[in-house]
Structure 1
């Protein structure tokens, strides 16, 4: 006799999710008595087991932690953190981790609640926490976000995130604090050079042509920092749906301003921008896809965008070559 499968209601699914979250928190409580403030590295030679959410954070933690850490990234190349749902494997990684780093500012969407709860029981750190809120861009109230979470698009803000990672590791593992500080000093020097490089390259684009049109509004910090107007079809979070009005408004902007190139993103399907291009063509204006940008995730291992620094360089080179 065939087994009859009953589809669970949204209420039942919500109860299951809350149950899983409760189990994780209970497990964390049993492992770290006294809360996160008292957590220190055990006196052994094992590497610190770290979980990071997005690839950009995973990359920096590995650079700063060096041989003292083993980093497990949850979200691989092409994964959209705004829509990400934790798997059973992810739950196990979070439970086993000694330390967790995440973006914060509601970047991780549905995972935000559990990450914030884990902060009470083990070192669970939002890398954006030390950036002055007055320097942050406004978020999307409809999506429940107070601030724009895409801070890595301003390299100076990513330096602040790097400092937060450095200080968290040094506090947890004082015996190797000098190692983390040396690694961070060298990496921040690279980031400072990268920031100057981005400014120099964007200046190659004629001022009238400094308009970056992408699938979703992730590049706002980039535009503010480096002097380029940014427009996205979707909102700050890809959980915000776009409609025909959004497509037509962006199409009209391209036609009226004679914008010659738009850009797709590695973590978002291209069909949205293809609709805008087709609409502009119907009005007699040819728009091309200027290339693929990396917005919410890194590239595949071995690609030209498999680290944060390489990702920024790839994006800037792609933008400049298409618009200058």
Structure 2
């Protein structure tokens, strides 16, 4: 269930538990916040407003599963007042780094604010979960609340403004959730099959009733074998799938192998569009925001699979 506005700043006890180290006194200067992904950085910037200076380590097209901290990142994190990471093993190559950081700097694993019973199990590791929770706007409202709570705790003087920004951001997330449900529901039932480069859309599929098939597993580090390619070619041909999707942060090589394999079987399938999975669009663009990336994905998927959605998206802002 999506959060209600009344519960917005009271949902995440995980936020308070995660950021237990004292923050330095900062008077009215902006809080220095470092986020790992663009989705987290976007939320922090919107919620923090002028009270926070936010720097995201991973830009457009960057794969967080394989990302390693650079020297510049290490310096930025070392100077931060608050570090926001996704957790849920998304930043797999930086787990040890952030374990060290968390011993000396307030650090919040925003994805882990979501109760375990609402998470999807990892397909490979029994003790881990699928980290791609931002793909479900209803579910992502919980990390939004956790981020707002951590920012307000760090800057009590700005807490009312952060709360107001949180209410507005939550309202947009709820409107986006409604738009996604309505748009995906217009896809003919037999065509609700989303084939993508890697398995980043399971929460999206669960939220909106669409079957998701990824070539690679939850992590882009997993290998897509010939057997998996052959399996998906068979699915595409037998179920007459007409569109498959590339992702901005994953090579399109395997998707093109699917297209060629289907063609060899006498079935034509097209690329339905490029989706944003582990990273947002270009900085400064509407698609370079979390609201914009999800709007883009929903609109692209619905239109490519035979549904009805405005070409310019929910707010008429898509390029």
Report if TM-score (shorter chain) is over 0.5: yes
Q: Which residue in 2 is equivalent to 1:306? A: 288
Any idea what SS the aligned residue of 1:141 has?
A: coil
Structure 2 distance, partners of 1:41, 1:225, is 41
Q: Quote the Cα distance in structure 2 between the aligned partners of 1:137 and 1:63.
A: 28
Partner of 1:72: 55
Q: Which has the larger radius of gyration?
A: 1
Which residue of 2 is the match for residue 175 of structure 1?
157
Quote the residue 1:86 is aligned against. Answer: 69
Structure 2: 5+ residue stretches without partners: 1-17, 307-319
The superposition leaves residues 98-146 of structure 1 with CA deviations (integer Å, 9 ceiling, x where unpaired) of 111011100011012222332232211011122110111111435x871
What is the aligned residue count? 289
Shift of 1:199: 0.4
How far 1:95 moved relative to its partner? Answer: 0.6
Which residue, out of 37, 60, 67, partners 2:20?
Answer: 37
Q: Which residue of 1 aligns with 2:231?
A: 249
**Where do residues 31-180 of structure 1 align in structure 2 (5 Å cutoff)?**
37-141=20-124, 146-180=128-162
Cα distance between partner residues in 2 of 1:191 and 1:41: 32
Partner of residue 252, structure 2? 270
Are the equivalent residues in 2 in contact too, given 1:304–1:314 (CA < 8 A)? no
Tell me the CA shift for residue 157 of structure 1: 1.3
Asked if structure 1 preserves the Cα contact closer than 8 Å seen for 2:273 and 2:300, the reply is yes
Moved more, 304-313 or 288-297: 304-313
Give distance in 2, aligned partners of 1:204 and 1:41: 52
Q: What's the TM-score once normalised by structure 2's chain length?
A: 0.88
Structure 1 residue 71 displacement after superposition: 0.6
TM-score between both structures, scaled by the size of structure 1: 0.86
* Contact 1:52–1:101 under 8 Å retained in 2: yes
Q: 2:196 aligns with which of 200, 214, 218?
A: 214
The higher relative CO (CA closer than 8 Å, separation ≥ 6) is in: 2
- 2:139 partner SS: helix
Counterpart for residue 186 of structure 1: 168
Closer/same/farther in 2, CA of residues 220 and 311 from structure 1, 3 Å limit: same
